[in-house]
Chains A and B, each alone.
Chain A
Amino acid sequence: MPEIRVTPLGAGQDVGRSCILVSIAGKNVMLDCGMHMGFNDDRRFPDFSYITRSGRLTDFLDCVIISHFHLDHCGALPYFSEMVGYDGPIYMTHPTQAICPILLEDYRKIAVDKKGEANFFTSQMIKDCMKKVVAVHLHQTVQVDDELEIKAYYAGHVLGAAMFQIKVGSESVVYTGDYNMTPDRHLGAAWIDRCRPNLLITESTYATTIRDSKRCRERDFLKKVHEAVERGGKVLIPVFALGRAQELCILLETFWERMNLKAPIYFSTGLTEKANHYYKLFITWTNQKIRKTFVQRNMFEFKHIKAFDRAFADNPGPMVVFATPGMLHAGQSLQIFRKWAGNEKNMGTVGHKILSGQRKLEMEGRQVLEVKMQVEYMSFSAHADAKGIMQLVGQVEPEGVLLVHGEAKKMEFLKQKIEQELRVSCYMPANGETVTLPTSPSIPVGISLGLLKREMAQGLLPDAKKPRLLHGTLIMKDSNFRLVSSEQALKELGLAEHQLRFTCRVHLHDPRKEQETALRVYSHLKRWAPRSFWLGLGRSGARGGSHCASRQRPQGPLRAAPSRWVRDCGVHPHPGCCPLRGPRHQGAAGVLDLPG
């Protein structure tokens, strides 16, 4: 039985380190190759021993697909390709290809420079890894090899994020990566064909959340920033350089313009200029509004937002600073935080400790830093919420759904919702757990022109939307199937037609006269026997034909029997050996079951 197998090596019931193995019709694909930011050792990378145990990676995997440039989706790529030794192609969209090495390089810098890690991938490895990348366009069908094809769809979320359809013959899987079903200030909403895959693998970060209006969140954010600045305070916004940062920049820029505010806004990293460069370069990937107004004014050329110099942090008066990294674990955002945390007029959003209400933090050299500044947490994350996920499942119409990139408890809730409301089976494997889905492959069958003409002569024109039965004989020759008329089948296979006469003695207990009884039997046989007999034969051919017309799974022995019969016919060396047996014989016998 053909099947699709899915094993998450990461993102199985967790958020972070996305890496999912999919086997479809004998092809093996790795979806994303992310790392876990919470670890400082090899545990940050997915456990590839699952694949490497049975030999070389390159022999096992047909391709790797990266959905977008976030490190939890691509951070392990250089490790995987240059240190573990994957040699095959890596597919991603053009913006992801452009931005991915910058983020990898940046992460390498933090790991090697700030944390002093040895045995980390080098710049040369990032370059060698990027040489294996094949960039794809949206909606472009890319042929990985003769059988495996992939196609990218717009996913929103961040610049260049894509969902991927992976297809081998008639079997397919759709992987969403991270996506957003509502457009925001700079990106559009995710969109995909109604491609009816066997399986949809979807992220489920916000599996239980129905998010409030984005407008409310934005208003709240602007109000708080405005108040802090009015008080003469300083606002620190720790962000990751690419993605949400641009969304907030557009938001503040527009607000500053409208309110005619003068307090300076700074962006603290050299990465930003690069980021904005790429947003300009890949303007077609942004939303409709930005694309339309691009000619008059580029939204990413900010008037109010200036590059930050570390000396500015000591300047008196209000200011807003976007600083990286987003979780205040190192670098500039942490330095600024140390400077400003002691002043209650200031505001900042920070990592775990402060977010959870700690007000006294130990800093280097056993110094204790008292946090007097106001701390706010605001979510601008661009993931689909529960409603969005349901909407996408409805849009794609998959046969099954598999949840990844979320927490087990939330997944459980969404799984039930999908199964109950959409009547689609849903899976949520943990890391290392394999989900196996049986598939019903559709086997292409060629139909002889003669047979087709005969069918057409009955006046019914072919209609793609209405599959219908076609009667004929199924022949398997050189791994190909053909449906032909029985005469042609006999001719092609060099078989002589045999006529079989079935006789049997039947004792009839009929009180009527002998002649009357004979007449009754005769008229009954005349009415039923020939048709039933040929129906038995005809049906066998038709069953084979229906295989190609619809994608239903074979359900009983009747389906298996004809193909076995045909195969016997095709290879049997003795034409005299009659293939008629089994079900047809029973069909003929049933005729004598006289009604009351």
Chain B
Amino acid sequence: MDPECSQLLPALCAVLADPRQPMADDTCLEKLLDWFKTITEAGSSLLLLQENPCLVELLCHVLKPQDLSSRVLSFSLRLTGVFAAQEDCFQYLQGDSSLFVASAAGQLLVHILSLSMRGPAEGPPGLQADDWPACAQKIVGHIEESLRSTAAPQITQALNVLTTTFGHCHDPWTQVLWVQLHPLVAALLEKDPVPAAHSLVDLLLSVARSPGLSSSSCGLWETLAQTLSHLSPTQAGLLALGILKLQDCPQALRAQAFAVLLQPLACVLKATAQGPGPSGLLDSTSADSVTADILLPSKAACVGLLCRTLAHLELLLPLPQRPCPWPQAPLLGAAVTLLQLCGGSGSPASDEGRQLCTLLLGCVRVQRAALDFLGTLSQETGPPELVTQVFAVLLEYLRSPDSSPTVLKKAFQATFRWLLSSPRTPGCSDLDSHALLFLRELLPVLQKRLCSPCWEVRDSGLEFLTQMTRRWGGQAGFRHALLASEVPRLTEQLLRDPESYVRASAVTAMGQLSSQGLCVPPASPEHPGGQQKSLLGELLHILSTDSEGFPRRAVMQVFTQWLRDSHADVVGDTEQFVAGVLQVAGQDLDWEVRAQGLELALVFLEQTLGPPRSHCPYAVTPPVAAPASPLTQALQPLCRVRLFEFAFRALFDCDRPVAQKSCDLLLLLRAKMASSSSLQEPRSSPDVASVEAALQRWRAGDQAQPLGDLEPEVVLAVLRSMDLEGLRGALAESSDHVEKSPQSLLQDMLATVGILGENEADCY
């Protein structure tokens, strides 16, 4: 602790101990605690307490019964924990940032139990529960009593304490504890309904995951199986998912858990089956009446169960330990059926199916969940007729006027994922003929969506177009279909959309289309090529005039990419392009545009001087080819585009990331200078002095005067004389580092003493 803080601390402790001095702002107590944590992590807490006796006094003082605010009391208790954490038994306590008292109390019990079981110096207590220390026995007694209680909150608390215990403690005594409590936990399953089902599931999974327990000997698998069958389908899903995630567990239990997860979808398939016969999902248990009972009578229960089931299966699919064989085809069928029911295109024959149809018609929640699930299912293939159905239902959603913006966005995402997975030939990323046929149907729909009155829909449409173009823009089939549609023309129109988010997405999409040579409309009498305004001009116009930051940032990203890819519009006169863009970007009010300008400058610099050398000491670097011409000559193009004026200005930018980026760029350049054979001795000239003087003024905030045309020699001399490393160090500190310092915190806390809590309300 630095001496300034040490001086402030006694006064602060006195304030904290005084119940008449309320602390107006509790965040400062939290921050104080953070600070003490960093101090104790760095050094001995004992030493800290010895050097600052006021802390001990405070801790002793708060223990006396008095009218102390609960904030200060809880702060002091946690502070004690911070100091004790060095004894490592309290460490978990500190990790608990929970707001909730019950949870904190539970955590405390676990830590006391764990601490008492660690035992004194003569070794841990024996494995017989009767030999356990009185304190541990008392806690276990309390848990037992709570588990026997009829009050649900008490049972919940006890289960939560046990969950934390088995989650954190893996010593042999935990097995003894489980054997002792197991019958009480199992007894909960006999009750109808099962109390505190969520907490019970958490506990059983925590025990199953615990490395300290050998599951087979403790009857855990039996209890898990029993729980799966006792809980209602809505509650059992989470347990089933947890069981399937376990690394090793009996195959029968896994099968039972998977059946629980699949049941609701099996019910849907059964209810909507066109003819008799197995649906392919859970043939043996498909007639599960419990699930059907939950699915059918109430909309809320039906929607809740289906959404949860879909979410659980979505989580399970990418896991390596997912069940094998994976019933891909029936699951695809179920997802498609659900989407059809929600969209109103399903026509089930049975009564149950019709009932389900009534419940799900237009249900956005199920639509969202089913589309997400369908998208995830694209990781696997399916039978061709089902894949055709998938594309058909996706098209139906993209076409439907009833689809909400969120549903449409998800439909676009799922479509993209299925298009990605559609190639039949491994290793080939091209769209196959089926996908191309689908694309021909899709593009008119996209066209319509780009004209939607909802900005959300237009934007999602543009994002989808960008994704597709990035992926298949080079493929003939895609190009042909896209150019035959109105999509490129509409995208161009959206550059002038009233919504800035849409303009930004249109800029990105047009940039992508243009990179692939896809935005030029076919020559026709209506669109004589000469009258078309060039896209470059259009984007420059947006960069210099758009009132919102997003489109301007998007333009800068497109330009940087174009420069990197040597885009045709740029290659013509690269220097003029870079100079023009940097000039506009340098005046932009949005720091991200200016930072992006530096990115563009960096690309240009690398193209002019060659790529930077690898910093990795072990990398095999080819011998550096010295520039054919001296460095000063190589710098000429950079000077001509006024890159240095832009970079120097950015170096003193009031927005830190801009200054940091510029500093990095100039340091890179200096490194190149150092490696260059044309390294010259620093020299001073009138030009250098005037530039340095101008830079001094810029640094002071007066950036009115331009630097004018700079010669490479002057630039090199100025670069050599600048303390760029020092500047980088200064820039690494955040702008509020002074205000954030512990000393400032202590001063703030002392300063607010006695001021009524009236003022802070006005901050909001």
Q: Does A528 contact B (CB under 8 A)?
A: no
> Within B643-683, which residues are at the interface with A (CB < 8 Å)?
654-657
Q: Which residues of B contact A557 (CB under 8 A)?
A: none
Find out whether the CB atom of B747 lies under 8 angstroms from the CB atom of A353: yes
A339 shortest CB reach to chain B, Å: 9
Known interface pairs A43-B97, A131-B406, A356-B755; A113-B656 also in contact (CB < 8 Å): yes
B409 within 8 A of A: yes
Select one of B101, B752, B763 contacting A327, CB under 8 A: B763
Encode contact with B along A429-444: 1 for CB under 8 Å, 0 otherwise: 0011100000000000
Q: Does A296 contact B (CB under 8 A)?
A: no
- In the complex, what distance in Å separates the CA atom of A377 from the CA atom of B755? 12
Query: A127–B759 Cα gap in the complex (Å)?
Result: 34
A-side interface mostly: loop
B87 contacts A by Cβ under 8 Å: no
Contact of A16 among B22, B409, B553, B764 (CB under 8 A): B764
B26 on the interface (CB 8 Å rule)? yes
Select B764's contact among A116, A147, A178, A311, beta carbons within 8 Å.
A178
* Interface-central residue, B28, B238, B591, B759, by most chain A CB under 10 Å: B759
Known pairs A209-B758, A326-B763; A432 contacts B459 (CB<8 A): no
Interface residue count on the A side (C-beta < 8 Å): 71
Across-interface contacts of B460 in A (CB, < 8 A): 131
Interface flag for A146 (CB, 8 Å) = yes
**What residues of chain B lie closer than 8 Å to A59, measured between beta carbons?**
304, 307-308, 311
Across-interface contacts of B657 in A (CB, < 8 A): 112-113, 116
Check B739 against A329 for contact (C-beta < 8 Å). yes
Q: Which residues of A contact B22 (CB under 8 A)?
A: 409
Interface residues of A in 298-345 (CB under 8 A from B): 310-311, 326-327, 329-330, 335
Whether A381 and B591, one on each chain, are in contact in the complex, defined by CB atoms closer than 8 angstroms, is no
A141 is an interface residue with CB less than 8 A from chain B: no
With A37-B763, A127-B459 as given contacts, are A88 and B735 in contact (CB-CB < 8 Å)?
no
With beta carbons under 8 angstroms apart, the residue of A311, A363, A431 that contacts B702 is A311
Q: Is the CB of B748 within 8 A of A355?
A: no
Interface string of A118-144 (1 = CB under 8 A from B): 000001000100111000000000000
Contacts of A43 in B (CB 8 A): 27, 30, 97
A510, CB-defined interface residue at 8 Å: no
Give Cα A413 to B702, complex, Å. Answer: 54
B residues within 8 A CB of A379? 758-759, 761-762
Is B209 interfacial (CB 8 A cutoff)?
Answer: no
Contact with A along B539-573 (1 / 0, CB 8 A): 00000000001100100000000000000000000
Of the candidates A58, A72, A330, A356, the one whose C-beta lies within 8 Å of that of B307 is: A58
Distance (Å) between the CB of A274 and the closest chain B CB?
Answer: 8
Minimum Cβ distance to chain B for residue A17 (Å): 10
Is A432 a contact of B101 with CB atoms below 8 Å? yes
CB distance from A102 to the nearest CB of B (A): 9
Is A515 positioned at the interface, with any CB of B under 8 Å from its CB?
A: no
A56 touches B365 (CB 8 A): no
Closest CB in chain A relative to B735 CB, distance in Å: 4
Q: Does A26 sit within 8 A of B, measured CB to CB? A: yes
Query: Which residues on A sit within 8 Å (CB–CB) of B304?
Result: 59
Identify which of A9, A72, A357, A407 gathers the most chain B CB atoms within 10 Å of its CB. Answer: A407
Provide the B354-384 mask, 1 if CB < 8 A to any CB of A, else 0.
0000000000010011000000000000000
Selected interface stretch from A47-55, A224-232, A282-290, A483-491: A47-55
- Could you say which residues of chain A place their CB within 8 Å of the CB of B501? 127, 130
Structural contact, B704 and A353, CB atoms closer than 8 A = no
Identify which of A37, A132, A326 contacts B406 (C-beta below 8 A): A132
Query: Footprint of B on A, CB under 8 Å?
Result: 9, 14-16, 26, 36-40, 43, 47, 49-50, 53-56, 58-59, 70, 72, 87-89, 105, 109, 112-116, 123, 127, 130-132, 146-147, 178, 205-206, 209, 270, 310-311, 326-327, 329-330, 335, 352-353, 355-358, 362-364, 377, 379-381, 383, 407, 409-410, 431-433
Closest 9 CB pairs of A and B: A38-B27, A356-B751, A432-B100, A114-B735, A432-B99, A131-B456, A381-B762, A115-B734, A116-B734
Q: Give 5 CB contacts A-B under 8 Å.
A: A205-B761, A326-B763, A335-B654, A353-B748, A432-B98
